[in-house]
Amino acid sequence: MKSMEEMMKAAQEAAQTVQKQMQEAQTKLEAIEVEGVAGGGLVKVRATAKGRVIGINIDESLLVASEKQITEDLVAAAFNDARAKADKASEAEMGKMSGGLNLPEGFKMPF
């Protein structure tokens, strides 16, 4: 049987390993890019897997004053599409990291 001191040291090392893996995962998520689209590609939003918007592309055909509301709706839809893809990419990356942790079903890492 291990001494209490050995068990505490092992637990601390395990916590440090998990913390390092979490930091590495955060770095990877910032490097993964996703693209949300709306209006058949007329509006595109590029974002990181962490959800930071990198850029927005709006087709010139939408830049008509009378189409302002449609353009705004398409930008929102493209952003939401990008956000959903970012969440999916984030979950996949975190799944790789947490695969060996045997976490309970539905448990989410703090991101």
Q: Cβ distance 35 to 45 under 8 Å?
A: yes
pLDDT per position as a tens digit, 39-56: 999 999 998 888 888 899
Residue of 106, 97, 89 whose CA lies nearest to 52: 89
pLDDT score at 98: 65
* Any domain includes 111: no
What is the distance, to the nearest Å, from the Cα of residue 23 to the centroid of all Cα atoms in its chain? 14
Q: How many domains does the chain have?
A: 1
0.75 surpassed by pTM? no
pLDDT score at 35: 93
Angle between helix 4-31 and 68-98 (nearest 10): 150
- Higher pLDDT residue, 78 or 109? 78
CATH number at residue 10: 3.30.1310.10
* Any domain includes 106: no
Rounded Cα–Cα distance for residues 55 and 52 (Å): 9
